[in-house]
Structure 1
Amino acid sequence: NDLVKDGKKSFDWKSWWLPSESEEAKNKEKVELFQFIGKDNIPFHTVIFPCTLLGSPHDWTKLYHMSSTEYLNYEDTKFSKSRGVGVFGTDAIETGILADAWRFYIFYNRPEKQDFQFMWKDFQEKMNSELIGNLGNLVNRTLLFVNKYYNGNIPDAPVDEELWAEVRQREQKVTEMLEWSELKDAFHEIFAISDICNKKFQMAEPWKTRTTEPEKAESLIHNLCYVIKDLMIMMNPYMPQYTQKVMSYFGKSIQESKVGVETKSGLNWSSLGEVNGLSNVGATEVYFTPMDKKTMEAFKEKFSGNQNDRNVKNDSSKDKKKSEKKNEEISVLAMNEQPAFFSKNIRLKVAKIVSIERNPDSDKLYVEHMDDGSGIDRVIQSGLVPYLKEDELLGKNVIIVDNLKERKMRGIASKGMLLAADYQKDGKDAVEVLTAPWAEPGTEVILEGDTENLDKPAEIEASEFFKIEINTVNKNVEIGGKKLLAKNKIISTEFTVNGGIH
């Protein structure tokens, strides 16, 4: 509609990618291209694609700054759509937790320099202490004070130069961080400003000085209202719904800009540090609800990763160190170390799917009953419902992680893990399971050069398994450059040429 209104038939893409050849003179200035990518895409976006552009006769816009992230993992394992491990979009909606609470936690722990583990216990603690106990507390106590003691009118008072000197210095720091896409550090700096103001409120005790030294109370509340205004402006890119809601209490809104859309009026980044323009506070409400332990544990069980308790109280210092160690990110071994680690610790086996049904409490999980050669029914769950039909799995001799510790998934115990590969089919995500149709159930899958029946642990944690990476190289399944074999035959994929196995 905007193109038609401006009498154009198409968007001038050259203004972004070939500004020197753009038909509009105003677009000939240099475009600064920022890219936000995962760490596994760094070589392509920093070497391969730029070299391709340099080999072209055109002066294409090239990478100006790259912001990459490490992996976001789940509890003590990895997020995996194919295995149904983790919390995804529909799951997040199902929890009833507000979108901005999710956004808060992800940005607060954005894995910019190392992998990060999403943990329900940590989510609960960070939301309750920082989002609600810090930012939410400052907003609620300040605005309620205005409504209760000043009839909703923000008292007039001089600017607190000492407070604003520190606030403006930190706001400048946030601005500089965001200019270089340091999103996590900038987010933490904003919360630091909120923390300073909370402490100032507590030390000033306005509930006392309101009657004994009213000018002091008025100055505090007046200045805190404007700091809150600034906090909401800076927080808006992170938590748009919450910040707009808070600004509506002041009768204001924050300007939101979109490419190709006419910008609406409102407060913007240039409004930071301004101590004027606010007059009153309307009726407020508590926006975020604290998460109690019972709720946290229920979510942890429902969207279960590893269910080991990492927060046992009154345990010995040694046990505490073990518990804290589990909270650290999973560290993948160097490629040349992975084969030896696999041979000493991980047991893979061929198992036949003899029956299959859906988990009644999940729209993603299959419950597969397997013959693993032991003569005992084995149950493994996999998140393959969105990708494969029951008859595409039934009767197949698949590859499983045999000594993976049992865990519950949506109320049903799962003993082991079925290995699968992700690939693209007609532009959509697809999954194929690893199979060995020539090998009978119970056959051990080993690395080339190894022998069967090596002494390995009876059980391993998921974190141990994910210290190695299983990949397809020209359809052959390998670990650290060594091929996986069953009955001396290479395990291979049908569709996944080069990719990861999960």
Structure 2
Amino acid sequence: MPNTPSDKAVLVTCGLPYANGKAHVGHLRTYIPADVYVRSLKKNSQETTFVCGSDTHGTPIVVNAEELGVTPKELVRKYHVHFDEMFKKMEVVFDAFGTTDDDTNHNRTLDIVSKLIEKDYVYPKVIEIAYCPQCDRFLPDRYVAGTCPHCGEKARGDECDQGCGKHLEPGELNEPVCTICRGPAEYKEQEHFFFKLSEFSDFLQEHLEKLGGTLNARNYALGWVKQELSDWCITRNLEWGVRFPGHDDLVVYVWVDAPIGYIAFTEEWAKATGGDWEKFWKGDCPIIHFIGGDIIYHHCIFWPAMLKGADYSQPSAVVASGMVKIEDRTFSKSRGYVVWVEEDYLNHGFHPDLLRYYLVSYTSHTKEVNFSWKIFQDKINTELVGVLGNFLYRNLLFTFKNFGEIPEGDIDPEVIEKIISTTEEVIRANGDYEFKKAADTAMALASYGNSYFQSNEPWKLIKEDKEACGKVVKNCIQLAKALILLFEPMTPGSMEIAWKQIGMNSDVHTATYEEATVAVISGTKLAKPQILFTKLEDDKIEEMEKISSKRVKTAMAKEAGIKEVEKMEFKEEIEYDDFAKLDIRVGKIVTAEKIKKSKKLLRLEVDIGDDSPRQVVAGLAEYYEPEEMIGKIVNVLVNLKPVKLCGVESRGMLLAADAGERVSLLTTDKEMDPGSCIR
């Protein structure tokens, strides 16, 4: 980011959150620094567009949906809404936040893939694909596990996630196993389509040499390009995704359509605002990707080659963040080393600004962040409370009590010079993606303000020379104004309040850095200030540590096979009319069979007293054998809208009690005829 704004607009994107689970602190490691960067660009009068969206395709989505007994569309809709809400609550503001299952992305993906086919960068090839004879299905990506052919470690179908980290093509795994039934898989021949990545080695070498962003992204990618690049299989055997042109039995690989989402979301922004998406993707305006360190290969190798082949502009910078540890432990949801944004943070009353500041100021952007409740407490109490908050509150409270308004007085040249040099250094640091340096520099100005206030002793001056005292506090309010502008990208909610506390009527979020040296206006009335940052007490931090500790113990017990039933929270009260909408009837199961494509689902035919049995799909295969289901008397919700699960239509839902590891169907204690109503 230059010290002076460019005449070219800038597009900033974030790696897409995968719509199959809740937001956690690890996600925010990318999104908050990107938001800080965008806010800082805008404060430097740089025209900037910020886009993101949900990644909704690929095998993990389908696997999770099958396990939960819902459709992929239902699953991604739920988590798309969740992420959209979490980002807004954490003050991450996108100009567009779409999904890769939107029509815009489907159409843009088909356009790019068709262009690559037309230019002979895509070709068909018969390859061996993992196939499960028991499930009678081909096994793409996460449906198959095995041994990495490069390092010998356990790996999943698309990546050696436990070993060398190398991207794996279909058919590469040794000793393949089906992740659905856990049975041995075999390899069968099938035609798939490949992108000629190998033809882009020279282009990628040149592209990466001039790529901006962080060195960890560029150097990692250069290391791979200097080796021999293999062509890339870009089709998968799935029903969910963007259909490959001319082949209804194949979809494009998720790492084709996911980054194309950046273009689609820019198109949606342009349509909504009258902007021009082509100035970025077919012009020379800068494109900056903020991503996690685990997806460098895709963004620095696959993506620019694909763009080049289809005659689109390539990214000008890739900014890769370090990963997140939890209490000095490697991040792991399965082992309980996770901090959920909503239930562990926001629901406990922590302000978004505290976590935003912690994540950008803890360490360099490319280094690992260790989230520790104790370190979090110390950093907030020492810096935001003890330095920045202390300066703003003590000065404004003193001024309010003794003047009631901003007093007369000139701003010291030394203060103006300090503001200018600090602002320039913050702009420079943000431009170099050194967010910790920017935060430390801004905090140093707050320390200077505390020293200025303390050394001038206004509490003494007010008794001896009120005019001189007024000049001191006016200079302090000028420093406060500058600090508010510098900290707004990091702590936007708190700085919005602070901006009003110094008597400003404008929008702090659109105010620029240039305003930092514009003198505050004498005579501006001041209200009694409120404390912006309050100390995090030991008992609250101990409470959070106990929650984390319990989660880890529960996860470890589960790994060890110790079953524990969690108490479910009661849902909110409803009116009787809400219950009356449910049509629940007694049913008798007539037939039951497993669904081949799923290890969790059964297809049932249930007599509910109608002319013919009702087909219902139930996620009970792990708890009941099909033959033991036949003849059971059950309770069925019959007015649920039909849905398709693994391609089979379900026209109802069986009621059951769920205790985690144990599930039991609900029945009646007396014999009742099928179709009897439950009231």
TM range (shorter): 0.5 to 0.7
268, 271, 274: which one aligns with 2:518:
274
Residues 299, 254 of structure 1: alpha-carbon distance in 2 compared, 3 angstrom cutoff: farther
Residue by residue over 1:167-211, the C-alpha shift from the partner in whole angstroms, topping out at 9 and shown as x without a partner, is: 211111111222333222112211111111111211221101222
Residue 70 of structure 1 deviates from its aligned partner by: 0.6
**2:473 corresponds to:** 221
Map of 1:298 onto structure 2: 543
Amino acid paired to 1:81? K
Q: Which amino acid aligns with 1:15?
A: K
Q: Distance in 1 between matches of 2:274 and 2:517?
A: 40
Give 2:566's aligned residue. 358
Tell whether 2:361 aligns with 1:108.
Answer: yes
TM-score by length of 1: 0.55
Which residue is 2:145 aligned to? none
Supply the AA of the counterpart residue of 2:515: S
Give the deviation of 1:393 after TM superposition: 7.4
Of 247-256 and 97-106, more deviation after overlay is shown by 247-256
Structure 2: give runs of 5+ residues left out of the alignment.
1-95, 97-266, 572-617, 625-644, 647-679
Q: Identify which of 16, 40, 63 aligns with 2:280.
A: 16
- Give 1:239's aligned amino acid: T
- Aligned to 1:143, which of 367, 381, 396? 396
Q: CA RMSD in A?
A: 3.7
Question: Cα offset for 1:361?
Answer: 8.4
Would you say the 8 A contact 1:109–1:184 is kept in 2? yes
Q: Cα distance, 1:126 vs. partner?
A: 0.9
For the Cα contact (< 8 Å) 1:85–1:305, is it kept in 2?
no
Per-residue CA distance 1:59-115 (angstroms, 9 max, x = gap): x33222222211111102133334443221212122111111221212221551321
User: Which string of whole-angstrom CA distances, capped at 9 and with x for unpartnered residues, describes residues 327-346 of structure 1?
Assistant: xxxxxxxxxxxxxxxxxxxx
Letter in 2 for 1:13: W
Measured after TM superposition, the shift of residue 360 of structure 1 is 5.8
Residue in 1 aligned with 2:347? 94
Return the alpha-carbon distance in structure 2 between the equivalents of residues 361 and 103 of structure 1: 29
Q: How far apart are the structure 1 equivalents of 2:356 and 2:332? A: 20
| Number of the residue aligned with 2:285 | 31
- SS of the aligned residue for 2:329 comes to coil
Task: Select which of 533, 548, 555 maps to 1:288.
Answer: 533
Residues 336 and 551, structure 2, Cα contact 8 Å, conserved in 1: no
1:49 to 273, 278, 303: 303
1:191 aligns with 2:443: yes
2:483 equivalent to 1:231: yes
CA contact (8 A) 1:53 1:62 kept: yes
Indicate if the aligned counterparts of 1:142 and 1:225 stay in contact, CA closer than 8 A.
Answer: yes
Q: Provide the C-alpha distance between the structure 2 equivalents of 1:185 and 1:13, rounded to a whole number of angstroms.
A: 33
In 1, Cα distance between equivalents of 2:350 and 2:441: 25
Aligned to 1:357, the other structure's residue is in SS state coil
Query: Structure 1 counterpart of 2:398, which letter?
Result: F
Aligned mates of 1:131, 1:9 — CA distance in 2: 37
Once the two structures are overlaid, the 10-residue window that deviates more, 174-183 or 34-43, is 174-183
For residues 29-62 of structure 1, give each alpha carbon's deviation from its aligned partner in whole angstroms, at most 9, with x where no partner exists: x311111111122222223322222333x2x332
In the aligned structure 1, how far is the partner of 2:619 from the partner of 2:332? 20
Deviations, residues 469-498 of structure 1 (Å, cap 9, x unaligned)? xxxxxxxxxxxxxxxxxxxxxxxxxxxxxx
CA contact (8 A) 1:50 1:63 kept: yes
What are the residue-to-residue correspondences of 1:389-468 with 2, within 5 Å?
Answer: none
Corresponding residue for 1:133? Answer: 386
Instruction: Report the AA paired with residue 113 of structure 1.
Output: T
Greater radius of gyration (CA): 2
| CA–CA separation in structure 2 for the residues paired with 1:138 and 1:290 | 15
- Aligned to 1:44, what secondary structure does the other structure show? helix
1:243 lines up with 2:495 in the alignment: yes
Contact 1:42/1:68 (CA < 8 Å) preserved in 2?
Answer: yes
Does the CA contact (< 8 Å) of 2:395 and 2:473 recur in 1?
yes
Secondary structure of the residue aligned to 1:62 is coil
How many residues are treated as equivalent by the alignment? 310
Note if contact 1:154-1:280 (Cα within 8 Å) is conserved in structure 2. yes
TM-score (norm 2): 0.41
* SS of structure 2 residue aligned to 1:121: helix
The answer to whether the 8 Å contact 2:406/2:521 transfers is no
1:358 alignment partner, SS class: coil
Specify the SS of the correspondent of 1:210: helix
SS of residue paired to 2:429 = helix
Equivalent-residue separation in structure 1 for 2:497 and 2:429 (angstroms):
26
Structure 1 residue runs of 5 or longer lacking an equivalent are 20-29, 258-265, 309-347, 364-388, 396-424, 427-502
Q: In the alignment, is residue 202 of structure 1 matched against residue 454 of structure 2? A: yes
Q: Deviations over 1:442-501 (max 9, x none)?
A: xxxxxxxxxxxxxxxxxxxxxxxxxxxxxxxxxxxxxxxxxxxxxxxxxxxxxxxxxxxx
Q: Percent identity?
A: 23
In 1, the alpha carbon distance for the partners of 2:368 and 2:527 equals 43
Once the two structures are superposed, what CA deviation does each residue of 1:398-424 show, in whole Å capped at 9, x if it has no partner? xxxxxxxxxxxxxxxxxxxxxxxxxxx
- Output the CA distance in 2 between the equivalents of 1:220 and 1:307: 53
